[in-house]
Amino acid sequence: DAKTTQPPSMDCAEGRAANLPCNHSTISGNEYVYWYRQIHSQGPQYIIHGLKNNETNEMASLIITEDRKSSTLILPHATLRDTAVYYCIVRVPGANNLFFGTGTRLTVIP
């Protein structure tokens, strides 16, 4: 699976949009981009995934660049409960492992 690069930490004001970047410049054509998050003392939680097109669900939006070498996870209105470590993962269908890396620690500030 291609490797990802994420900033180690970010802050976001409560109520504002949180934009979390991820670089995956070596991504191959059949690799999906997944986002998970881990709130303190809990198990990782799936957020969203995509291949080429932008995706949106009740939790977040995923914007993938046209060349697919980077993506951005958007939490439209961050709350204090969104404080967590966010992991960007690229993965080939059929791969057994999810390599979590170090992620981005997002702190939502009141």
Partner 1 sequence: DAGVIQSPRHEVTEMGQEVTLRCKLISGHNSLFWYRQTMMRGLELLIYFNNNVPIDDSGMPEDRFSAKMPNASFSTLKIQPSEPRDSAVYFCASSLGQARSGANVLTFGAGSRLTVL
Please report, as ranges, the residues that interact with partner 1 according to CB under 8 A: 32, 41-46, 49, 51, 93-98, 100-102
The CB-of-93 to partner 1 minimum distance in angstroms stands at 5
C-alpha 13: how far from chain center: 18
The CB-of-46 to partner 1 minimum distance in angstroms stands at 5
Nearer to partner 1 among residue 46 and residue 109 (C-beta) = 46
- At residue 81, the 3 state secondary structure works out as helix
C-alpha 95: how far from chain center: 19
Residues near 101 by beta carbon (within 8 Å), at least 6 away in sequence: 3, 4, 6, 87, 88, 89
The CB-of-32 to partner 1 minimum distance in angstroms stands at 4
Nearer to partner 1 among residue 17 and residue 39 (C-beta) = 39
